[in-house]
């Protein structure tokens, strides 16, 4: 089935030797590097949500512009005769307000298809151009009068406003519509209105009802050039947005495989991570395990086994993080955590001992809940040590991992196994307990002493502090 999961990226394979392929390669310096041709559904959904939010913003800006324009129009003295047959601006404002309100409702209810956005762009431009065209009717003057209306400048506002939607095609539609529309207005003035004459003199153009074709073509060229520049800029910006959203989603997904402190350290590092880089820290190391989990997993379906692991890990991780600990790794039913390794802490030992008691309490509560529900249950055992550890990266250039290394890590693993020998739920070297007490730890559970114990794999005898199994979990 692996062959069915192939993902194709633009430029990942040799472009076809066609005109389209050659054109795409030629435009790459202008349009920027390629983006994935097929985006994951989550990325597409994020982009759609962002565009829908931007569409709401665009519509609100347009409504604010309509209100501002209407206010200024109402205050400005009118230059046209009082007995004109109609005023086009109020009519255009009413029509445009209704259409924009409909678009806002559709945008807020997430029912704004792309074809409606294209239609909206065309309507925006046409309402403006029809309003400009009607000026000569309002003033009862030759059609050339509307060619000199500064209202044309609003075309650039409408086109630029569409950059907020990150849709280059909408800008192109708006620019092309405006250019064609202005060309039609020019044709109407020159070919239909017999009162309009063509001139080559700029002075005559600005002081009379004559038309200077070069000036009108300059406007069309300006509209098309601004459209092209904004479209190219938006294509590049959209590609950057796609890459940023994709990388952000990937980083968010990958960060779930690390403790938050480790993920933050990776993001904040100023140089490339390399294997073998490490810092020496005074830290506490906690090792947690499930008792009897191997036998339990052999007697249950895989789904039930994973459900038990999930419940157990959720509770233990919460207890560890609530006391400033960082999860180093999950090893089957084993959990390795550290205090003061990923981030130096003056109270690492006290935090670790508080976490031990929280882990024991969480484990016992979980055990009791499952027993009351008539479900299979396993007890939680743990061990904590303190000392000097190395915290850094191991692996190779292709596969790195942050971890803690050192004698406290090895001893914590050995003590956790030794819990079974002593028939206790938690073990801590006496020196670690004393250090934790110096850092402010006050025991909330009845710890007992185990003096002169020989732990397999550790040469010296150890004085230990232990928590016995409660009768319900034993």
The two tokens of residue 334 are 């084993």
d(CA 181, CA 252): 47
Strand bridging mode 400-405 / 379-395: antiparallel
3-state secondary structure of 105: helix
| Cross-strand bridge partners of residue 326 | 338
How many CB atoms are closer than 10 A to CB 275?
A: 15
Residues of the chain above pLDDT 70, percent: 76
Give the pLDDT score at 4: 37
Q: What is the mean pLDDT of residues 211-224?
A: 93
Mean pLDDT of the residues in the chain:
80
Distances (CA, A) of 382 to 53, 308, 358, 418, 427: 49, 18, 11, 10, 7
Q: Is a pLDDT exceeding 50 seen at residue 355?
A: yes
Instruction: Yes or no: say if 425 and 469 are a contact pair by the CB < 8 Å rule.
Output: yes
The two tokens of residue 187 are 């044709």
Give the pLDDT score at 394: 67
Give the pLDDT score at 97: 83
Instruction: Yes or no: say if 261 and 343 are a contact pair by the CB < 8 Å rule.
Output: yes
The two tokens of residue 466 are 């232990």
| Cross-strand bridge partners of residue 464 | 429, 450
Q: Give the pLDDT confidence of 268-323 residue by residue, as tens digits.
A: 555 555 555 667 889 999 999 998 888 888 888 888 888 888 999 999 999 999 99
Q: What are phi and psi of 457, to 5 degrees?
A: 90, 0
Q: Give the pLDDT confidence of 179-206 residue by residue, as tens digits.
A: 999 999 999 999 988 888 898 888 888 8
How many CB atoms are closer than 10 A to CB 46?
A: 18
User: Considering only CA atoms, which of 317, 295, 409, 437 is closest in space to residue 366?
Assistant: 317
Give the pLDDT score at 332: 84
Distances (CA, A) of 153 to 17, 96, 138, 165, 172: 43, 17, 20, 21, 17
Give the pLDDT score at 7: 34
Instruction: Look up residue 188 and give its DSSP letter.
Output: I
Give the pLDDT score at 2: 37
The more confident residue out of 318 and 120 is 318
Rg (CA), the chain: 36
User: Considering only CA atoms, which of 46, 28, 93, 34 is closest in space to residue 65?
Assistant: 93
User: Considering only CA atoms, which of 98, 100, 74 is closest in space to residue 87?
Assistant: 74
E strand or H helix at 41: helix 41-75
The two tokens of residue 8 are 């194709």
d(CA 393, CA 370): 39
Q: What is the mean pLDDT of residues 135-160?
A: 86
pLDDT band at residue 16 under the 50/70/90 scheme: very low
pLDDT band at residue 437 under the 50/70/90 scheme: very high
pLDDT band at residue 447 under the 50/70/90 scheme: very high
3-state secondary structure 326-343: EEEEEECCEEEEEECCCC
3-state secondary structure 423-442: CEEEEEEHHHHHHHHHCCCC
The two tokens of residue 381 are 């055992």
pLDDT band at residue 13 under the 50/70/90 scheme: very low
Give the pLDDT score at 5: 33
Q: Position of tokens 């090895």?
A: 410
User: Considering only CA atoms, which of 188, 189, 185, 207 is closest in space to residue 197?
Assistant: 189
d(CA 361, CA 314): 14
């Amino acid at each position: 089935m692996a062959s069915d999961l192939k993902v194709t990226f633009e430029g990942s394979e040799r472009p076809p030797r066609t005109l389209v392929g050659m054109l795409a390669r030629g435009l790459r310096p202008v349009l920027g590097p390629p983006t994935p041709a097929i985006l994951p559904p989550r990325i597409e959904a994020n982009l759609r949500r962002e565009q829908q939010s931007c569409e709401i913003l665009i519509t609100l800006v347009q409504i604010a512009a309509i209100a501002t324009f209407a206010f200024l129009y109402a205050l400005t003295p009118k230059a046209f005769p009082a007995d004109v047959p109609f005023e086009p601006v109020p009519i255009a404002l009413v029509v445009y307000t209704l259409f924009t309100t409909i678009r806002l409702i559709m945008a807020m209810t997430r029912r704004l298809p792309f074809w409606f956005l294209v239609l909206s762009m065309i309507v925006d431009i046409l309402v403006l151009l029809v309003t400009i065209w009607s000026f000569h009717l309002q003033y009862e003057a030759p059609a050339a009068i509307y060619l000199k209306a500064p209202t044309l400048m609003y075309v650039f506002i409408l086109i630029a406003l569409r950059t907020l939607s990150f849709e280059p095609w909408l800008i192109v539609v708006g620019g092309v519509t405006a250019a064609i529309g202005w060309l039609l207005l020019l044709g109407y003035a020159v070919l239909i209105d017999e009162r309009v004459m063509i001139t080559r003199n700029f002075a005559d153009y600005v002081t009379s009802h004559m038309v200077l074709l070069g000036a009108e073509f300059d406007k069309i060229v300006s509209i098309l050039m601004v459209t092209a520049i904004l479209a190219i800029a938006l294509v590049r910006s959209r590609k950057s947005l796609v890459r940023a959203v994709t990388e952000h989603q990937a980083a968010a997904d990958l960060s779930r495989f690390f403790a938050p402190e480790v993920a933050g350290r990776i993001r904040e590092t100023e140089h490339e991570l390399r294997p073998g880089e490490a810092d020496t820290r005074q830290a506490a190391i906690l090792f947690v395990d499930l008792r009897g989990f191997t036998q339990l997993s052999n007697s249950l379906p895989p789904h039930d086994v994973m459900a038990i692991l999930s419940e157990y890990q959720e509770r233990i991780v919460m207890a560890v993080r609530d006391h400033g600990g960082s999860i180093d790794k999950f090893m089957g039913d084993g959990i390795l955590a550290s205090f003061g390794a990923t981030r130096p802490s003056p109270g690492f030992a006290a935090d670790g001992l508080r976490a031990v008691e929280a882990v024991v309490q969480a484990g016992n509560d979980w055990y009791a809940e499952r027993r009351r529900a008539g479900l299979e249950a396993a007890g939680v055992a743990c061990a904590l040590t303190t000392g000097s550890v190395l915290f850094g990266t191991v692996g190779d250039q292709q596969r790195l991992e942050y971890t803690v290394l050192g004698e406290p890590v090895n001893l914590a693993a050995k003590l956790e196994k030794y819990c079974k020998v002593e028939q206790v739920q938690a073990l801590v070297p006496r020196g670690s307990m004393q250090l934790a007490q110096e850092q402010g730890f006050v025991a909330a559970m009845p710890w007992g002493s185990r003096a002169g114990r020989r732990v397999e794999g550790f040469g010296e005898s150890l004085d230990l502090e232990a928590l016995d199994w409660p009768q319900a979990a034993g």
